[in-house]
Amino acid sequence: MQLALVANPKSGAGRSPDEIAASLRELGHDVSTFTLDDADAAATSGADRVVVAGGDGSIGCVFAACAGTGTPLAVLPAGTANDFARAIGVPADFEAALAVAADPEADRIAVWGASIDGRPFVNVASIGLAVNAAEEAAPLKKLLGPVAYAIGAGIAAARGKHISTRLTVDGTEQFCGDAWQVLVASTGTFGGIAQLPESDPETAAIEAYVIEAGTRLGLLRQVWGMRRGGDQDGVRRFRGHRITVDVQPEPRWNVDGEVCELGDVTARPLGPVRVLIPHDADGSATR
């Protein structure tokens, strides 16, 4: 096969783009390498599939490029939490994921991501305590891995403040008031362990979750209950295809683990993209 490799050399797996390309060539394929800035070129290169090696932020960039061309996407999880790979069934082990990327018979599923004011994401974009949590976790990620996110979330819960927000879904206002956090989800995975309820990567609809302002003890209960798809009082949930979030005073968002200044935003579905996953011996998809 002709493979277009987009690799982020700064991601946590510690493998250089040249090393990954050499491994794919050893498996019998022709490989062209591209930088993240050239993700669109990779998707339009005529390759049989694009292979992305990086964290979820890198995957989102390449996902968006493939959404515009219909080129299949293979994911090599090389970040800290690798939430997207976990959500869709890509092996967490890098070598096992490499084998899927090189397998001409690998299964494919149609996966939807989302964009927030044109910035793509494949898991969750959030504002409020999630920004504080990401900043607290950042210096700990190399040392502690995914555990850093749990520590960052704990510090944020103890120190963070409410935000004032107005949420509109498909043109109808659904929430207006104070909140600890607002999350907009495609797959709904984040922090290495959490899974938001009802978020389905195989549907175009995106979800919004509002954790209403209250006591810090209540906040801890709500966040704990949302782990692994749990549901909690005080967490408002909405679904649609156009979600607008107006916030005061905080303009910063956590988009798949990367903090950026966006302010008031509108989120829309992005995709679908055919993503490669392994299959069992009988040929059925492994999910």
CATH code, domain carrying 32: 3.40.50.10330
Hey, which bits of the chain come out as E strands? 2-7, 30-34, 49-54, 73-77, 107-116, 119-121, 124-128, 163-169, 172-185, 189-190, 194-195, 206-212, 235-240, 243-248, 252-255, 258-261, 265-277
Q: Examine the pLDDT at 192 and tell me if it is beyond 80.
A: no
* 154 lies in the same domain as 90: no
In a domain? residue 38: yes
Q: Range of 238's domain? A: 120-270
Can you tell me the mean pLDDT for 17-41? Answer: 95
Residue holding tokens 């995709």? 271
pLDDT band at 157 (very low <50, low <70, confident <90, very high): low
Distance CA 205, CA 33 (A): 33
Can you tell me the mean pLDDT for 33-39? Answer: 95
* 206 lies in the same domain as 231: yes
* 140 lies in the same domain as 216: yes
CA atoms within 13 A on the CB side of 270: 27
CATH code, domain carrying 142: 2.60.200.40
Number of folded domains in the chain? 2
* 125 lies in the same domain as 254: yes
> Looking at residue 285, what is its pLDDT?
43
Can you tell me the mean pLDDT for 55-71? Answer: 94
pLDDT band at 71 (very low <50, low <70, confident <90, very high): very high
Q: Examine the pLDDT at 82 and tell me if it is beyond 60.
A: yes
- Which residue, of 104, 131, 166, is where some domain finishes? 104
For the chain, give the mean pLDDT: 83
Considering the entire predicted model, what is its pTM? 0.84
* Residue 209 burial (CB count, 10 A): 23
> Looking at residue 25, what is its pLDDT?
96
Distance CA 167, CA 88 (A): 28
In a domain? residue 286: no
In a domain? residue 93: yes
Q: Examine the pLDDT at 228 and tell me if it is beyond 50.
A: no
Phi, psi of 80 (to 5 degrees): -85, -55
Higher pLDDT, 129 or 275: 275
Pairing of the two strands 49-54 and 73-77: parallel
> Looking at residue 286, what is its pLDDT?
44
* 142 lies in the same domain as 184: yes
Can you tell me the mean pLDDT for 251-264? Answer: 85
Q: Examine the pLDDT at 196 and tell me if it is beyond 60.
A: yes
Burial per residue of 270-286, b for 16 or more beta-carbon CB atoms within 10 angstroms, e otherwise: bbbbbbbbbbeeeeeee
> Looking at residue 15, what is its pLDDT?
80
* 62 lies in the same domain as 176: no
> Looking at residue 154, what is its pLDDT?
60
Residue holding tokens 């299949």? 72
Can you tell me the mean pLDDT for 87-98? Answer: 92
17: which 2 tokens?
């783009």
> Looking at residue 26, what is its pLDDT?
95
In a domain? residue 243: yes
In a domain? residue 287: no
Can you say how many angstroms the Cα of residue 157 is from the centroid of all Cα atoms in its chain? 22
210: which 2 tokens?
């509002």
Asked if 212 contacts 129 with a C-beta cutoff of 8 angstroms, the reply is: no
> Looking at residue 283, what is its pLDDT?
38
> Looking at residue 70, what is its pLDDT?
92
> Looking at residue 199, what is its pLDDT?
78
* 138 lies in the same domain as 73: no
* Residue 57 burial (CB count, 10 A): 21
Q: Which of 69, 167, 94 is nearest to 126 (CA)?
A: 167
pLDDT band at 212 (very low <50, low <70, confident <90, very high): confident
In a domain? residue 284: no
Pairing of the two strands 2-7 and 30-34: parallel
Q: Which of 104, 116, 149 is nearest to 130 (CA)?
A: 149
> Looking at residue 68, what is its pLDDT?
87
* 228 lies in the same domain as 195: yes
Q: Examine the pLDDT at 111 and tell me if it is beyond 80.
A: yes
In a domain? residue 281: no
> Looking at residue 284, what is its pLDDT?
39
